[in-house]
Amino acid sequence: MRARVLIRPKEGILDPQGQAVEQALPALGFRGVSNVHVGRLIELDVEDLSQVPVMCERLLANPLIEDYEVMEAARHPNGGALR
Amino acid sequence: MKFGVVRFPGSCDEVDALLACRRFGEAELLWHKDPDLHGVDAVVIPGGFSYGDYLRAGAIARFAPVMEAVIEFARAGGPVLGICNGFQVLCESGLLPGALLPNRSLRFVCRQVEVVVENPDSPFTRACDSGERLSVPVKHETGRYYAPVVPEEQVVLRYAPGHNPNGSQDDIAGVCSAERNVLGLMPHPEHAVDPLTGSADGGRLFESLALAPPAAAVAPLTGANAPVR
């Protein structure tokens, strides 16, 4: 199955990337934007979804500075096949 | 004193580190696939971009075969110095508290900074005086130190007022383990060992490591920290 892992900077940790994006959007005329945070998306095919949180704790995320969320994902339209 | 300097694919400061060590003792390179440490007395994890810094700086290097031996060596009380990327590797491996985040400026910073020796009571600073200022370069993009709690005695080096290049918490430039035998720092002492390059202050750290520890300062290691004999 396809697993999707969303990784976000932990609340309270300064996120200068999010701040930079937040400041760039009004410059393009977008209003009412706040609380922008930039994280990471990891998708992987796995046999056992229950292994993914363990992977997150050990490698995919750094739990000291990042939160992660694991979900089952629909397969990418190209089937995830390499070109 | 025999130093071992680890070389990962993507390391780039291992030769400068090797030459810095050789000013104060013998030194050799350790390859990332080495299963043991060749009997060295101290380990240096140098700067660079180990394994391309993919995922997070240091995240993949911590699983290199040589790191198993480094972790065992550190747990047994052996001195381990992590510089820049080496600091990131040591935090990721759990030998040091905290983590390194992208610089507040989001820019790669390359400049000479001054750091203050906050704690001379460590194997890495015992040649220094408390409050001594060292001029050393920094060059990194992911050097903003963060830790939920750092006991004050583990803060070995601080950026001098006005010199914090990355937004590090409490101006922390270098932090050691609770047992003080592992030190990580973002500045590069190995690039400041010859007055020709503007400062030889970085040599103080290697000089400290090469000094025999004063007998009274060697705390007995107990429990989980006891050396494996």
Q: Considering only the beta carbons, identify the residue of B92, B104, B146 that sits closest to A16.
A: B104
Q: What is the CATH number of the domain that holds A28?
A: 3.30.1280.10
Q: Is B103 on the interface with A (CB under 8 A)?
A: yes
0.95 surpassed by pTM: no
Contact by Cβ (8 Å): B79, B209: yes
Alpha helices in B33-100 (DSSP H): 65-75, 85-92
Residues of A in contact with B59 (CB under 8 A): 59, 62
- The pLDDT tens digits of the residues spanning A21-38 come to 999 999 999 999 999 999
Q: Is A5 on the interface with B (CB under 8 A)?
A: no
* CB within 8 Å: B99 and A62: yes
* CB within 8 Å: B92 and A65: no
User: Which is nearest to A57 in space by CA: B61, B66, B59, B89?
Assistant: B59
DSSP E strand boundaries for B38-85: 42-45, 80-83
CA B43 to centroid of chain Cα atoms: 9
CA A74 to centroid of chain Cα atoms: 16
Q: Is A23 on the interface with B (CB under 8 A)?
A: no
For this structure, is B190 an active site residue? Answer: yes
Neighbours of B50 (CB within 10 A): 28
Residues of A in contact with B99 (CB under 8 A): 62, 64-65
CA B58 to centroid of chain Cα atoms: 13
- The total of structural domains in chain A comes to 1
Q: Is B98 on the interface with A (CB under 8 A)?
A: yes
Residue A79 above 80 pLDDT? no
Distance between start and end Cα atoms, chain A? 20
For this structure, is B188 an active site residue? Answer: yes
For this structure, is B38 an active site residue? Answer: no
B2-216: CATH architecture: 3-Layer(aba) Sandwich (3.40)
- A32, part of any domain: yes
The upper half-sphere exposure of residue B147, i.e. CA atoms within 13 Å in the direction of its Cβ, equals 22
Q: Considering only the beta carbons, identify the residue of B60, B98, B102 that sits closest to A16.
A: B102
Tens of pLDDT along chain B (229 residues) come to 999 999 999 999 999 999 999 999 999 999 999 999 999 999 999 999 999 999 999 999 999 999 999 999 999 999 999 999 999 999 999 999 999 999 999 999 999 999 999 999 999 999 999 999 999 999 999 999 999 999 999 999 999 999 999 999 999 999 999 999 999 999 999 999 999 999 999 999 999 999 966 554 455 555 554 444 4
How far apart (Å, rounded) are the C-alpha atoms in residues B183 and B172? Answer: 12
Nearest CA of chain A to the CA of B129: how many Å?
33
Q: Is B109 on the interface with A (CB under 8 A)?
A: no
- A80, part of any domain: no
- A25, part of any domain: yes
Q: Considering only the beta carbons, identify the residue of A16, A17, A65 that sits closest to B99.
A: A65
Task: Give me the sign of the Cα torsion angle B116, B120, B121, B127.
Answer: positive
Distance between start and end Cα atoms, chain B? 20
Confidence of residue A75 (pLDDT cuts 50, 70, 90): confident
Contact by Cβ (8 Å): B82, B182: yes
Q: Considering only the beta carbons, identify the residue of B60, B106, B146 that sits closest to A13.
A: B146
Domain ranges, residue A66: 2-72
* CB within 8 Å: B59 and A59: yes
* CB within 8 Å: B55 and A59: yes
Nearest CA of chain A to the CA of B222: how many Å?
28
- A78, part of any domain: no
ipTM for the whole complex? 0.82
- A77, part of any domain: no
